[in-house]
A and B are shown apart, each in its own frame.
Chain A
């Protein structure tokens, strides 16, 4: 099968490759550019551990074909910290103890980021609803929800 030329922006860098037409975005990120922060936990779209943000929308990258994101702008967990400063969500996850084994963490943070980008001050109910897109096996979600609310409050108070 012939490969397809794909180019997109990922974490503010433009990349271009020849990819297999049946390659998933998760494979491309992990295998071609070593962005291993996105995890394959189920491979079937059920858990959200591979969530990345594509043109503002959180996507399960295990269900996306790389050719589909040609020309898109992608953010992965590796792209959140800017100029050596962690994203408020990353700080909040640390400070609130929302991280245990860490395997779901990047997907959780990306899901939360997409939420805060479209809704600056979500209610707790809204946070829970959004975060119910992702599975965590360790935390019971309490500290994850707290972290997202905390990050939102810090972001709004900071303007």
Chain B
């Protein structure tokens, strides 16, 4: 591997930004095709009801309507990420299970016509009793949402390591607390949209997605079409955060309408539909019991966590597990029992979230502070005491390779003068710390790895072909940077063909934190293979040893006698001439335990590596209004080597907004199965004026496996920023919170309870 890097590790301008600042970048709803129709979806007005009939005849009679569909036009194939979770009929014919569920759709020449047609569709429902709270849904006699899942328990993840009961009985200190958190909205700026174009037996699709190949596969199953006839194409995506990972009902709707009408169809959801009818985040209730020894070591953890799963399985087993894993990858648990239940309710469909699990993780962290305090340890010491170090194995048998956890804790606390501030709290001020680890990838069978092709073009430019997808994180620019570094050509000489299922090979997608560690690694290997070929020809032509050749600034040259050099384009032409053009492939598969399964076998190597991070928040609380402000936020992240530090910082800063400041304002509000804030006015995405002064610290620990030592950029902060805020509030108020987000009304309750208790 090269050490004297030219481009990797530099604050480069992202390759995608020019198109974005000039307004030229295309997103799905920007696409226009000749004869394109507009689609609109009729949605369920009821949280739970039997469908007795759907009559599309009147809709089809509206002039300008070219197709209308309902579940009766599908093959009835159900979607589920796993074989055992296939329960989602994306256009149902038996029952509707949430308000906003897709029931029927039309495609027409314009939106007005489509809306007119929708109003003429007749659906007969028999309303059924509905249930909205997981605790109620789990009771005997509660309305059954799916026949196959008794008491609406969709997934039960059970992990049991060591002897928890014994360890608890031997622990010096035991504490049990319950934490609740409302689910959030992804609130990606781009409302969901799909363009489907069916012609000559091929279906071309554009939509924001975090993995084109899994999307195409799901649709080929749902549509009973051969996989090669369903082609998901590259398009920019206006944010995902985990919410664009799975196939969406809109994909099926747009596809069917295009097939029926034989014309391209555009379905663009409104902001409200994006909130009610694409994926949402799980609400959760976490009971955390911890046993500690006198010296502050965690002896046992006993967990019961209930996830409000909404109406269908979705990524259920993963969602039910991740909060636990990112926590056990951070701290040493000699004994641990985890019971995670994902429970169906008559609410919208849920998915994984970049900040998933705040009740669980922030709860654990705040409880740890409290227990540490009882033992005379501050948050820094207790975290260092329990934090995993490189070479250790997690409770569920994942080996940690590179690990900069301790360093992130140390730097973040030094920069903030944490220890002193934490001990000497003044009225209404608090400081808090949150730590976490993140697996870079996880087992997904043959989809766990990524493959890349690279070909050198005759003018010395390169074309990369990779399945890797960008949802705004900067993945595309990252791999261009990697290729540029290895091939010795500037970034603008690297062309990218990516995230197109026809042209590109499999990639794990942008939802398992694997883009850098796996996707970019495949690119690295492919480019290194191409480089070898370039070097071989150049060495021969220049009459020097291969080891003496370096590539830089479009030139191949001798390191010893730089005067001996030639243009890379000449090398490439020579290769063409020899009938052996410079093309290369690269594949990267992380070393993980492929036997590992979320429910049936929850142990074994989870990922090829793990990233680590520590966040420190400083808060001020207005004692009269309960309103929190966050003057400072400091985040330290061990991301391996940052390929583009500016991009990593951007991820960290975004995380401080989306997880950190979200902790004082973001929540989906529900009433009888109705989402009360499906908009950007009443759903509170923090604004520039709500943001703290931010300090980001990148702690590079060169990962032995990662491309140039890289691991993952920013997700640790996404998964610990809420802990820092919540712990800071606990520090300021001297009390544990029980519910997130910490909106002013909840904070005032905490303050008043505390006052009441004092009196």
Q: Is there direct touching of A and B in the complex, by C-beta distance under 8 Å?
A: yes
Q: Which residues of A contact B (CB under 8 A)?
A: 30, 34-44, 46-47, 49, 76-78, 80-81, 86, 89-90, 93-97, 99-106, 109, 128-129, 131-132, 134-145
Known A136-B189, A139-B653; contact A44-B679, beta-carbon cutoff 8 A: yes
Partner of A94, one of B18, B27, B649, B680: B18
Q: How far is the CA of A84 from the CA of B350 in the complex (A)?
A: 45
Of A41, A44, A46, chain B has the most CB atoms within 10 Å of the CB of A41
Q: Could you say which residues of chain B place their CB within 8 Å of the CB of A43?
A: 270-271
Chain A, Cβ-Cβ closest to B646: A97
Q: Could you say which residues of chain B place their CB within 8 Å of the CB of A95?
A: 13
Flag if B658 contacts A38 (CB, 8 Å).
no
Q: Could you say which residues of chain A place their CB within 8 Å of the CB of B187?
A: 137
Partner of B189, one of A47, A78, A89, A90: A47
Shortest distance in angstroms between B653's beta carbon and chain A's nearest beta carbon?
3
Shortest distance in angstroms between B586's beta carbon and chain A's nearest beta carbon?
27
Q: Which residues of B contact A (CB under 8 A)?
A: 11, 13-14, 16-27, 29-30, 32, 187-191, 236-239, 241, 268, 270-271, 471-474, 646-647, 649-650, 652-658, 679-681, 685, 687-691, 694
State the 3 A-B residue pairs at the shortest beta-carbon distance, nearest first.
Answer: A37-B23, A101-B472, A103-B238
Q: Could you say which residues of chain B place their CB within 8 Å of the CB of A145?
A: 688
Q: Could you say which residues of chain A place their CB within 8 Å of the CB of B16?
A: 99, 102
Q: How far is the CA of A37 from the CA of B236 in the complex (A)?
A: 13
Flag if B654 contacts A140 (CB, 8 Å).
yes
Shortest distance in angstroms between B239's beta carbon and chain A's nearest beta carbon?
4
Q: How far is the CA of A34 from the CA of B236 in the complex (A)?
A: 17
Shortest distance in angstroms between A10's beta carbon and chain B's nearest beta carbon?
13
Flag if B22 contacts A135 (CB, 8 Å).
no
Q: Could you say which residues of chain B place their CB within 8 Å of the CB of A89?
A: 21
Flag if B27 contacts A141 (CB, 8 Å).
no
Q: Could you say which residues of chain B place their CB within 8 Å of the CB of A129?
A: 689
The A interface is mostly helix, strand or loop, or mixed, namely loop
Known A44-B679, A46-B679; contact A105-B21, beta-carbon cutoff 8 A: yes
Q: Could you say which residues of chain A place their CB within 8 Å of the CB of B268?
A: 40
Known A101-B239, A102-B236; contact A144-B688, beta-carbon cutoff 8 A: yes
Q: Could you say which residues of chain A place their CB within 8 Å of the CB of B649?
A: 97, 143
Partner of B650, one of A37, A105, A143: A143
Q: Could you say which residues of chain B place their CB within 8 Å of the CB of A131?
A: 688
Given contacts A40-B191, A96-B646, A100-B473, 6 further A-B contacts (CB under 8 A): A41-B190, A76-B23, A78-B23, A100-B654, A103-B189, A137-B658
Flag if A94 contacts B13 (CB, 8 Å).
yes
Chain A, Cβ-Cβ closest to B193: A40
Shortest distance in angstroms between A159's beta carbon and chain B's nearest beta carbon?
23
Flag if B687 contacts A135 (CB, 8 Å).
yes
24 contacts between A and B (CB under 8 A): A30-B30, A36-B26, A39-B189, A40-B191, A42-B681, A46-B679, A46-B681, A47-B680, A76-B23, A96-B646, A99-B20, A99-B21, A100-B472, A101-B189, A101-B190, A101-B472, A102-B17, A132-B688, A135-B685, A137-B241, A137-B658, A139-B650, A139-B653, A140-B658
Shortest distance in angstroms between B469's beta carbon and chain A's nearest beta carbon?
12
Shortest distance in angstroms between A73's beta carbon and chain B's nearest beta carbon?
18
Q: How far is the CA of A97 from the CA of B10 in the complex (A)?
A: 12
Shortest distance in angstroms between A96's beta carbon and chain B's nearest beta carbon?
8
Flag if B21 contacts A140 (CB, 8 Å).
no
Q: Could you say which residues of chain B place their CB within 8 Å of the CB of A86?
A: 21-22
Known A101-B472, A132-B688; contact A137-B32, beta-carbon cutoff 8 A: no
Q: How far is the CA of A3 from the CA of B27 in the complex (A)?
A: 30
Q: How far is the CA of A38 from the CA of B24 in the complex (A)?
A: 10
Flag if B650 contacts A81 (CB, 8 Å).
no
Flag if B271 contacts A77 (CB, 8 Å).
no
Q: Could you say which residues of chain A place their CB within 8 Å of the CB of B690?
A: 132
Shortest distance in angstroms between B280's beta carbon and chain A's nearest beta carbon?
15
Shortest distance in angstroms between B481's beta carbon and chain A's nearest beta carbon?
13
Q: Could you say which residues of chain B place their CB within 8 Å of the CB of A103?
A: 27, 188-190, 238-239, 472
Flag if A100 contacts B650 (CB, 8 Å).
yes
Flag if B657 contacts A140 (CB, 8 Å).
yes
Q: How far is the CA of A141 from the CA of B241 in the complex (A)?
A: 17
Q: Could you say which residues of chain A place their CB within 8 Å of the CB of B474?
A: 100
Flag if A42 contacts B27 (CB, 8 Å).
no
Q: Could you say which residues of chain B place their CB within 8 Å of the CB of A101?
A: 188-190, 236-239, 471-472
Q: How far is the CA of A39 from the CA of B25 in the complex (A)?
A: 11
Q: Could you say which residues of chain A place their CB within 8 Å of the CB of B238?
A: 39, 41, 101-103
Known A43-B270, A101-B238; contact A138-B654, beta-carbon cutoff 8 A: yes
Q: How far is the CA of A129 from the CA of B694 in the complex (A)?
A: 17
Chain A, Cβ-Cβ closest to B271: A42
Chain A, Cβ-Cβ closest to B18: A94
Flag if B691 contacts A97 (CB, 8 Å).
no
Shortest distance in angstroms between B482's beta carbon and chain A's nearest beta carbon?
18
Partner of B691, one of A34, A99, A141: A141
Of B18, B270, B271, B650, chain A has the most CB atoms within 10 Å of the CB of B650
Flag if A137 contacts B685 (CB, 8 Å).
yes
Partner of B20, one of A40, A46, A102: A102
Flag if A137 contacts B188 (CB, 8 Å).
yes
Q: Could you say which residues of chain B place their CB within 8 Å of the CB of A142?
A: 653, 691, 694
Shortest distance in angstroms between A132's beta carbon and chain B's nearest beta carbon?
4
Q: How far is the CA of A41 from the CA of B269 in the complex (A)?
A: 10
Known A102-B236, A137-B187, A138-B654; contact A38-B21, beta-carbon cutoff 8 A: no
Q: How far is the CA of A102 from the CA of B188 in the complex (A)?
A: 11
Shortest distance in angstroms between B107's beta carbon and chain A's nearest beta carbon?
17
Q: How far is the CA of A43 from the CA of B193 in the complex (A)?
A: 14
Chain A, Cβ-Cβ closest to B652: A140
